[in-house]
Amino acid sequence: MTILRDDCEIISRVSCVLYFHGFASSPQSAKILALRPLLEPGVELVTPDLNVPDFEHLDWGAMVAHGVDEGRRCRPAVVVGSSLGALVALEVVRRGVVAPLVLIAPALGIGARWLMRLPPGEPVTVFNHARSADALIHRSFFEQMNAIEADYAPPAVPVTIVMGHRDETVPFDLVSGRWNEWIAAGVQPRSRLIDIADGDHGLTAYADLIAREIASAVGTSAE
Protein backbone atom coordinates (compact mmCIF):
# COMPACT_ATOMS: atom_id res chain seq x y z
CA MET A 1 0.00 0.00 0.00
CA THR A 2 1.23 3.51 -0.73
CA ILE A 3 0.53 7.14 -0.02
CA LEU A 4 1.26 9.63 -2.80
CA ARG A 5 2.55 13.02 -1.71
CA ASP A 6 2.28 16.26 -3.70
CA ASP A 7 5.97 16.12 -4.61
CA CYS A 8 5.26 12.72 -6.23
CA GLU A 9 7.39 10.82 -3.77
CA ILE A 10 5.88 7.54 -2.58
CA ILE A 11 5.91 6.07 0.89
CA SER A 12 5.69 2.33 0.42
CA ARG A 13 4.42 0.13 3.29
CA VAL A 14 1.79 0.92 5.85
CA SER A 15 3.10 3.23 8.56
CA CYS A 16 1.57 3.70 12.00
CA VAL A 17 1.03 7.31 12.97
CA LEU A 18 0.03 7.83 16.59
CA TYR A 19 -2.39 10.75 16.95
CA PHE A 20 -3.43 12.29 20.29
CA HIS A 21 -6.63 14.35 20.27
CA GLY A 22 -7.21 17.49 22.31
CA PHE A 23 -9.02 18.39 25.51
CA ALA A 24 -12.76 17.63 25.66
CA SER A 25 -12.46 15.85 22.32
CA SER A 26 -12.29 12.24 21.15
CA PRO A 27 -10.93 9.90 18.45
CA GLN A 28 -13.94 11.01 16.37
CA SER A 29 -12.86 14.67 16.21
CA ALA A 30 -13.48 16.62 13.01
CA LYS A 31 -9.74 16.88 12.34
CA ILE A 32 -9.16 13.15 12.69
CA LEU A 33 -12.11 12.37 10.43
CA ALA A 34 -10.73 14.80 7.84
CA LEU A 35 -7.17 13.49 8.02
CA ARG A 36 -7.84 9.77 7.92
CA PRO A 37 -8.93 9.52 4.24
CA LEU A 38 -6.15 11.92 3.20
CA LEU A 39 -3.52 9.64 4.72
CA GLU A 40 -4.93 6.24 3.76
CA PRO A 41 -3.96 3.69 2.59
CA GLY A 42 -0.28 4.27 3.33
CA VAL A 43 -0.77 5.49 6.89
CA GLU A 44 -2.69 3.80 9.67
CA LEU A 45 -3.87 6.62 11.93
CA VAL A 46 -3.98 5.21 15.47
CA THR A 47 -6.09 7.49 17.69
CA PRO A 48 -6.32 6.38 21.34
CA ASP A 49 -9.05 7.84 23.52
CA LEU A 50 -7.32 10.10 26.04
CA ASN A 51 -10.40 10.50 28.24
CA VAL A 52 -8.93 8.27 30.93
CA PRO A 53 -10.15 7.03 33.26
CA ASP A 54 -13.09 9.16 32.01
CA PHE A 55 -13.61 12.85 31.27
CA GLU A 56 -15.05 13.67 34.69
CA HIS A 57 -11.96 12.23 36.39
CA LEU A 58 -9.38 13.08 33.72
CA ASP A 59 -5.85 12.42 34.91
CA TRP A 60 -2.62 13.58 33.25
CA GLY A 61 -0.59 10.59 34.43
CA ALA A 62 -3.18 8.13 33.14
CA MET A 63 -3.32 9.93 29.77
CA VAL A 64 0.43 9.74 29.32
CA ALA A 65 0.62 6.10 30.46
CA HIS A 66 -2.08 5.19 27.92
CA GLY A 67 -0.18 7.07 25.22
CA VAL A 68 3.09 5.30 26.04
CA ASP A 69 1.36 1.90 25.96
CA GLU A 70 -0.10 2.68 22.52
CA GLY A 71 3.28 3.89 21.29
CA ARG A 72 5.03 0.72 22.40
CA ARG A 73 2.31 -1.34 20.73
CA CYS A 74 2.27 0.33 17.30
CA ARG A 75 5.86 1.67 17.12
CA PRO A 76 4.84 4.83 15.29
CA ALA A 77 6.71 6.41 12.41
CA VAL A 78 5.39 9.78 13.62
CA VAL A 79 3.65 11.02 16.76
CA VAL A 80 1.01 13.72 16.24
CA GLY A 81 -0.68 15.79 18.93
CA SER A 82 -3.47 18.33 18.67
CA SER A 83 -3.86 21.03 21.34
CA LEU A 84 -3.63 19.25 24.73
CA GLY A 85 -2.70 16.10 22.79
CA ALA A 86 0.51 17.88 21.76
CA LEU A 87 1.61 17.95 25.41
CA VAL A 88 0.83 14.24 25.67
CA ALA A 89 2.83 13.65 22.48
CA LEU A 90 5.84 15.53 23.86
CA GLU A 91 5.77 13.57 27.10
CA VAL A 92 5.28 10.21 25.35
CA VAL A 93 8.33 10.87 23.16
CA ARG A 94 10.30 11.99 26.21
CA ARG A 95 9.45 8.66 27.84
CA GLY A 96 10.99 6.63 25.05
CA VAL A 97 8.55 6.38 22.14
CA VAL A 98 11.05 7.92 19.74
CA ALA A 99 9.57 9.33 16.52
CA PRO A 100 9.34 12.71 14.77
CA LEU A 101 6.62 15.00 16.14
CA VAL A 102 3.89 16.96 14.37
CA LEU A 103 2.12 19.30 16.79
CA ILE A 104 -1.14 20.96 15.71
CA ALA A 105 -2.19 24.13 17.57
CA PRO A 106 -0.21 22.82 20.56
CA ALA A 107 -1.26 23.93 24.04
CA LEU A 108 2.28 24.96 24.96
CA GLY A 109 2.48 26.83 28.25
CA ILE A 110 -1.30 26.75 28.63
CA GLY A 111 -1.56 25.36 32.18
CA ALA A 112 -1.38 28.68 34.03
CA ARG A 113 -3.80 30.31 31.56
CA TRP A 114 -6.35 27.53 32.08
CA LEU A 115 -6.10 27.66 35.86
CA MET A 116 -6.50 31.44 35.91
CA ARG A 117 -9.68 31.30 33.80
CA LEU A 118 -11.49 28.50 35.64
CA PRO A 119 -15.00 29.26 36.89
CA PRO A 120 -15.57 28.83 40.63
CA GLY A 121 -16.80 25.59 42.17
CA GLU A 122 -15.96 21.91 42.29
CA PRO A 123 -16.42 20.15 39.94
CA VAL A 124 -15.95 22.62 37.07
CA THR A 125 -18.36 22.85 34.15
CA VAL A 126 -16.76 23.08 30.68
CA PHE A 127 -17.97 22.55 27.14
CA ASN A 128 -17.20 19.07 25.86
CA HIS A 129 -16.84 19.07 22.07
CA ALA A 130 -17.12 15.29 21.81
CA ARG A 131 -20.50 15.39 23.55
CA SER A 132 -21.61 18.76 22.11
CA ALA A 133 -22.74 19.67 25.60
CA ASP A 134 -21.47 20.96 28.94
CA ALA A 135 -19.72 18.41 31.11
CA LEU A 136 -18.25 18.27 34.60
CA ILE A 137 -14.55 17.79 35.34
CA HIS A 138 -12.60 17.97 38.58
CA ARG A 139 -10.52 21.07 39.27
CA SER A 140 -7.42 19.08 40.17
CA PHE A 141 -6.88 18.17 36.50
CA PHE A 142 -6.14 21.82 35.72
CA GLU A 143 -3.84 21.99 38.73
CA GLN A 144 -2.00 18.98 37.30
CA MET A 145 -1.68 20.75 33.94
CA ASN A 146 -0.28 23.85 35.62
CA ALA A 147 2.49 21.74 37.17
CA ILE A 148 3.68 19.71 34.16
CA GLU A 149 6.94 20.45 32.34
CA ALA A 150 6.35 18.47 29.14
CA ASP A 151 6.97 21.48 26.89
CA TYR A 152 9.78 23.23 28.78
CA ALA A 153 12.70 21.68 26.89
CA PRO A 154 12.87 21.13 23.11
CA PRO A 155 12.13 17.53 22.11
CA ALA A 156 15.05 15.28 21.20
CA VAL A 157 13.44 14.51 17.83
CA PRO A 158 12.53 16.67 14.79
CA VAL A 159 9.34 18.62 15.48
CA THR A 160 6.93 20.44 13.16
CA ILE A 161 4.42 22.85 14.67
CA VAL A 162 1.35 23.97 12.70
CA MET A 163 -0.18 27.03 14.34
CA GLY A 164 -2.78 29.62 13.37
CA HIS A 165 -2.45 33.32 14.11
CA ARG A 166 -6.17 33.52 14.84
CA ASP A 167 -6.21 30.69 17.37
CA GLU A 168 -8.97 31.58 19.81
CA THR A 169 -7.91 29.03 22.45
CA VAL A 170 -4.11 29.06 22.52
CA PRO A 171 -2.56 32.48 21.82
CA PHE A 172 -0.13 32.39 18.90
CA ASP A 173 2.37 34.47 20.89
CA LEU A 174 2.39 31.86 23.65
CA VAL A 175 3.39 29.13 21.20
CA SER A 176 5.86 31.25 19.23
CA GLY A 177 7.46 32.34 22.51
CA ARG A 178 8.00 28.75 23.59
CA TRP A 179 9.25 27.90 20.08
CA ASN A 180 11.86 30.67 20.35
CA GLU A 181 12.96 29.23 23.69
CA TRP A 182 13.36 25.85 22.02
CA ILE A 183 15.37 27.41 19.19
CA ALA A 184 17.70 29.05 21.71
CA ALA A 185 18.15 25.74 23.56
CA GLY A 186 18.65 23.80 20.30
CA VAL A 187 16.02 21.97 18.25
CA GLN A 188 16.73 18.99 16.03
CA PRO A 189 17.44 19.47 12.29
CA ARG A 190 14.32 19.76 10.08
CA SER A 191 12.30 21.23 12.94
CA ARG A 192 10.10 24.17 12.00
CA LEU A 193 7.11 26.30 12.92
CA ILE A 194 4.46 26.69 10.20
CA ASP A 195 2.31 29.73 10.96
CA ILE A 196 -1.02 30.13 9.18
CA ALA A 197 -2.14 33.75 9.00
CA ASP A 198 -5.89 33.09 9.15
CA GLY A 199 -5.81 29.75 10.96
CA ASP A 200 -8.02 29.16 14.02
CA HIS A 201 -7.60 26.56 16.77
CA GLY A 202 -9.41 23.77 14.93
CA LEU A 203 -7.42 24.15 11.68
CA THR A 204 -9.83 21.73 9.99
CA ALA A 205 -9.76 23.95 6.89
CA TYR A 206 -6.07 23.08 6.62
CA ALA A 207 -6.37 19.30 6.79
CA ASP A 208 -4.59 18.95 3.42
CA LEU A 209 -1.59 20.92 4.71
CA ILE A 210 -1.49 18.94 7.95
CA ALA A 211 -1.73 15.64 6.06
CA ARG A 212 1.20 16.68 3.85
CA GLU A 213 3.29 17.50 6.91
CA ILE A 214 2.47 14.16 8.53
CA ALA A 215 3.31 12.32 5.29
CA SER A 216 6.57 14.26 4.99
CA ALA A 217 7.50 13.33 8.57
CA VAL A 218 6.70 9.67 7.83
CA GLY A 219 8.97 9.82 4.80
CA THR A 220 11.76 11.42 6.82
CA SER A 221 11.50 8.80 9.54
CA ALA A 222 11.77 6.02 6.92
CA GLU A 223 15.07 7.37 5.54
The fraction of the chain above a pLDDT of 70, given in percent, is 93
Mean pLDDT computed over every residue of the chain: 92
Q: What is the tens place of the pLDDT at every residue in 118-175?
A: 888 899 999 999 999 999 999 999 999 999 999 999 999 999 999 999 999 999 999 9
Q: What is the pTM of this model?
A: 0.92
pLDDT for residue 223: 64
> What residue type is assigned to position 63 of the chain?
M
Q: Residue 5: is its pLDDT beyond 50?
A: no
Residue 114's nearest CA partner among 63, 192, 170 is: 170
pLDDT for residue 1: 30
Q: What is the tens place of the pLDDT at every residue in 168-188?
A: 999 999 999 999 999 999 999
Domains and CATH numbers, the chain: 2-221 (3.40.50.1820)
Torsion of CA 69, 62, 102, 44, to 10 degrees: 40
Query: 201: left (phi > 0), else alpha (psi -120 to 50), else beta?
Result: alpha
E strand or H helix at 165, and its extent?
Answer: none
Largest Cα–Cα distance in the chain?
55
The fraction of the chain above a pLDDT of 90, given in percent, is 86
Specify burial of residue 194 (Cβ count, 10 A radius: 0-12, 13-18, 19+).
middle
